[in-house]
Amino acid sequence: MILPTNYSNVIIEKSENFIKCRSSLTNLDDCNNWVAEFGKINHLKWNSRSSMPNGKKITCSKKFVCHHSTFQKVSREENKKGNSKNANCSATITCVIKLDTLATRKSDTLIKNGLRGIITINNKHTHSLDTAETLRFIPADLKLKNTFFEYFSSNMGISEALKYHEDILELKDNFSLEDLANGAINPTYRTVQYWHDEWRIKNLGPRSGIGMIEKLKEKLNIYSEQNVIVKFVEDPFALLIVTPLMQRAHELKSSKWYSIVDSTSACDAETINNLYINSMCSRSGTISNYNYKRSIFFSI
């Protein structure tokens, strides 16, 4: 096991599945940061189990358990999803920060050197540490989440963003096959799908309801700057979109001979349909796109 380098550490006891060390920790935030870095280096995730923010004989203490423990998880028998992180793992990390007083400095010489933290690591896991099944459960951090937000802002979908990210990983000099299995480096489809939903609501608004109307109003100026025509009415809802490509299709002589493609399979919970109007001779040249409720009828 590799110890974090952002803190000074001195190992005072070590065996096959046990490590006890002193570290330059001063508060609970240091405990969280130390354990988070320790987990990242060693491809593990540790969850906070309990803490003591202050005490008479110690400054504070905190206990962490492996994310494959039974803590806040249903049993494998009760799990309905088929995949469970519950491996009944008993591995723990305990951080205790001693008081820095004249008395403690006399009784503990390491406190003089700033090593107030006592970290006890019980590293006996009931599961494998380097298999694809275990690595994919490691959660991604905020930095990776923001990276995928940038992919989405570049007009990438979920699958395209995942494929592009894998290509980027494979180009790195220190790339290994384990990186593709590690959820902290290469997130799962389900994770990216959740991020995409977050990004979409933040940037495009909800798919229906009042929030969608407000987001449309908010982006009207942006659409106008890009020469995109957007017209809508709120009740009953109807939306017309004409992109610059569609506007060029209008200039074709064949544009007066149109065909209608009613994409009813795209109905959402609000029963809103997509209606594409294409030029007959230009084939794929879409003239306009309507989004409307089923109660709306057009006479064209």
How many C-beta atoms surround the C-beta of residue 172 within 10 A?
10
Return d(Cα 116, Cα 104) in angstroms, integer: 10
- Give the lowest-confidence range in 105-109, 250-254, 264-268: 264-268
- pLDDT for residue 29 is more than 50: yes
Predicted confidence at residue 283, as pLDDT, reads: 47
Question: How many residues appear in the chain?
Answer: 300
Domain ranges, ordered by start, for the chain: 9-129, 135-203, 210-293
Say whether the peptide bond before residue 4 is cis (omega within 30 degrees of 0).
no
User: Residue 263 in contact with residue 286, Cβ under 8 Å?
Assistant: no
Mean pLDDT (whole number) for 293-299: 43
- pLDDT for residue 168 is more than 90: yes
Return d(Cα 86, Cα 129) in angstroms, integer: 14
Return d(Cα 232, Cα 293) in angstroms, integer: 12
Mean pLDDT (whole number) for 119-127: 94
Return d(Cα 111, Cα 291) in angstroms, integer: 69
The residue with greater pLDDT, 270 or 44, is 44
pLDDT band at 299 (very low <50, low <70, confident <90, very high): very low
Phi, psi of 215 (to 5 degrees): -70, -35
Return d(Cα 255, Cα 249) in angstroms, integer: 7
- In 3-state terms, what secondary structure has residue 215? helix
Contacts 24+ apart (CB under 8 A), 75-79: none
Return d(Cα 233, Cα 116) in angstroms, integer: 66
- In 3-state terms, what secondary structure has residue 292? strand
* pLDDT tens by residue, 245-261: 878 877 777 666 655 55
- pLDDT for residue 162 is more than 50: yes
- pLDDT for residue 282 is more than 60: no
Predicted confidence at residue 164, as pLDDT, reads: 97
- pLDDT for residue 34 is more than 90: yes
How many C-beta atoms surround the C-beta of residue 86 within 10 A?
19
Burial class (CB in 10 A: 0-12, 13-18, 19+), 216: middle
* pLDDT tens by residue, 228-244: 988 888 877 788 888 88
- pLDDT for residue 276 is more than 70: no
Predicted confidence at residue 25, as pLDDT, reads: 96
Tokens (6 digits) for 186: 């290469």
